[in-house]
Amino acid sequence: MALSQILALAIFVAMFVVLIIGKVHRYIPALAGAAAVIIVFLVVMQSPETAWRVFNLEQIGTLTFWVPGQEPLPSRGINWQTIIFIGGMMTMVEGLGHAGVLRWMCLSVAKLVNYRIVPVFVAFMLLAGFLSMFIDSITVMLFLAAVTVELARLLKVDPIPLIIAQVAAANIGGSATMAGDPPNIIIGTGLGFSFMDFVINTGPLAWAGMVLTLGFFYLVYRRSFHTARLGELNGQDARYPEPGEAIGNRTQFLLDIGVLILVVGLLVTHAETGISVALIGVIAFVLTFLVPKTKAENAGIFRRIDWRTLLFFVGLFITVGGLEETGFLALIAEFIEDVSGGSLPIAMSIILWASAFLSSIVDNIPFAATMVPVVADLSLAYGVSPATLSWALALGTDIGGNGTPIGASANVVATAIAEREGYPVGWGRFCKTAYPAMILVIGLMQVLLLVRYF
């Protein structure tokens, strides 16, 4: 390998190690890695053009960035489509949370099943999976875990089994669409796929995995449901929260639901309308602040946007750009091609299982960003569309994140809420059920991918 490739790899590995240790917010090692990569471009490669190319700023000023029509928008370096879209969706979700929409949904489902533990277990898993198709799974678990703890206290049962199962459902549901999980947004915008491309290809497979996951967790936790039923009897006179209690301002509530419906509609049809996901993110951002609120409420929503995570994406894309621009990712693609012996099914299987196992121990977002150029190079080498390899990457990274408490951001959020409320979730307890479930579902994905595409 050339010196630039060795340095780019060393920087990336160092960033990953700091991310895994988790002592500082992930945007810090990402930005530090980005700065180091820029130094490699300028000093080692002596190529200011390469340094400028990874910033990819000129693309934002073109009409095709916002309205690309039917043509995919190629991107190298910083994927501004992903960053702008996620920023807009973060803003909309903050508006939904402020208006009580998400809490109202959770409580409405709980009331619909009469606050009984087994129906709540099933309904909340399905709700987590469905909502994660359209709203980031991190936000879904933020609200769902809090409501689960609240109901578990009323029933005097342990909420941890329910939360672990909901995390698995949220990550699987997120794999069904382009908007569900950040890895899918990165894959879709990086390789030119639409929302409906994901729905048609990963959607059915993801929901087959959802059925398997629901059955698995029910069998694992069915004994604890006996104690839970006793809790239901003991809590017959308990006052359960009403969905209406989540609504503060009815006008805001209805308007924010309207914004959500519109944005989802734009996502579903963006391949037909020809508008980009970045423009959809801007629309979500603007409409959220057009919903009548006080200045203080708008300021609060703006402050709660996770700006540090957006900075993380900027640093991550530049650091991965170092691997791409130095040619290191092309070496990985060649290695996978050699190992697979030129067989596309074997290459697909390698990507699926490697994505799953690696995403269970490292954050799946940087892994997906790293693998997108590899998938593109492999597709060129095989002379095929990147579609099949992309679906394997999406399913592997999203579902593989279920294996451990740090495999996906939704896991971290859910377990942090449980711990804050007095229910710590240790690695042993989480992995004891979550890892076998993940392996079973990935095994199912392997079979279904081979049957459907080969």
Query: Please, are residues 338 and 344 in contact by the beta-carbon 8 Å criterion?
Result: no
Query: Please, are residues 375 and 390 in contact by the beta-carbon 8 Å criterion?
Result: yes
Summarised one tens digit per residue, pLDDT across range 289-302 is 999 999 999 999 99
**Cα–Cα distance measured from residue 97 to residue 111, given in angstroms and rounded to the nearest whole number:** 19
Q: How many CB atoms lie within 10 A of CB 429?
A: 14
Q: What is the DSSP code (8-state) at residue 40?
A: I
- What stretches of 113-249 show up as alpha helix (H) in DSSP? 117-131, 137-155, 160-174, 182-191, 195-234
Q: How many CB atoms lie within 10 A of CB 38?
A: 20
Given this model, what pLDDT does residue 234 score? 53
Burial 67-105 (b: 16+ CB within 10 A, else e): ebeeeebebbbbbbbbbbbbbbbbbbbbbbbbbbbbbbb
Tell me the mean pLDDT in the region 435-446: 97
Split at pLDDT 50, 70, 90, the class of 237 is low
Given this model, what pLDDT does residue 49 score? 95
Tell me the mean pLDDT in the region 408-416: 84
Given this model, what pLDDT does residue 287 score? 96
At residue 11, does pLDDT exceed 80?
A: yes
**Cα–Cα distance measured from residue 34 to residue 321, given in angstroms and rounded to the nearest whole number:** 9
Summarised one tens digit per residue, pLDDT across range 165-223 is 999 999 999 999 998 788 898 899 889 899 999 999 999 999 999 999 999 999 999 88
Which range of 182-191, 334-343, 384-393 scores highest in mean pLDDT? It is: 384-393
Split at pLDDT 50, 70, 90, the class of 270 is confident
**Cα–Cα distance measured from residue 423 to residue 123, given in angstroms and rounded to the nearest whole number:** 22
* Token reading at 16: 């990953």
DSSP code string of 356-400: HHHHTTS-HHHHHHHHHHHHHHHHHHHTS-SHHHHHHHHHHHHHH
Which is higher by pLDDT, 271 or 230? Answer: 271
Given this model, what pLDDT does residue 229 score? 55
Summarised one tens digit per residue, pLDDT across range 296-334 is 999 999 998 889 889 988 998 899 899 989 988 888 888
For the chain, the average pLDDT equals 89
At residue 73, does pLDDT exceed 80?
A: no
Given this model, what pLDDT does residue 112 score? 93
Given this model, what pLDDT does residue 312 score? 87
% of residues, the chain, pLDDT over 70: 96
User: pTM of the full predicted structure?
Assistant: 0.84
At residue 387, does pLDDT exceed 90?
A: yes
**Cα–Cα distance measured from residue 83 to residue 85, given in angstroms and rounded to the nearest whole number:** 6
Cα–Cα distances (Å) from 93 to 135, 239, 301, 306, in that order, read 8, 29, 9, 11
Given this model, what pLDDT does residue 262 score? 95
Given this model, what pLDDT does residue 230 score? 52
Given this model, what pLDDT does residue 271 score? 81
Tell me the mean pLDDT in the region 210-239: 75
Given this model, what pLDDT does residue 69 score? 78
At residue 236, does pLDDT exceed 80?
A: no
Tell me the mean pLDDT in the region 41-57: 94
Split at pLDDT 50, 70, 90, the class of 228 is low
Split at pLDDT 50, 70, 90, the class of 266 is very high
At residue 226, does pLDDT exceed 70?
A: no
At residue 362, does pLDDT exceed 80?
A: no
- Cβ neighbors of 383 (< 8 A, separation 6 or more) are none
Pick from 144, 141, 142, 209: nearest CA to 175: 209
Tell me the mean pLDDT in the region 150-160: 85
Q: How many whole angstroms from its chain centre is CA 224?
A: 30
DSSP code string of 269-300: HHHHH---HHHHHHHHHHHHHHS---HHHHHH
- Cβ neighbors of 280 (< 8 A, separation 6 or more) are 85, 88, 263, 266, 267, 270
**Cα–Cα distance measured from residue 422 to residue 409, given in angstroms and rounded to the nearest whole number:** 20
User: Mapping DSSP to helix (H, G, I), strand (E, B) and coil, where does residue 45 land?
Assistant: coil
Split at pLDDT 50, 70, 90, the class of 434 is very high
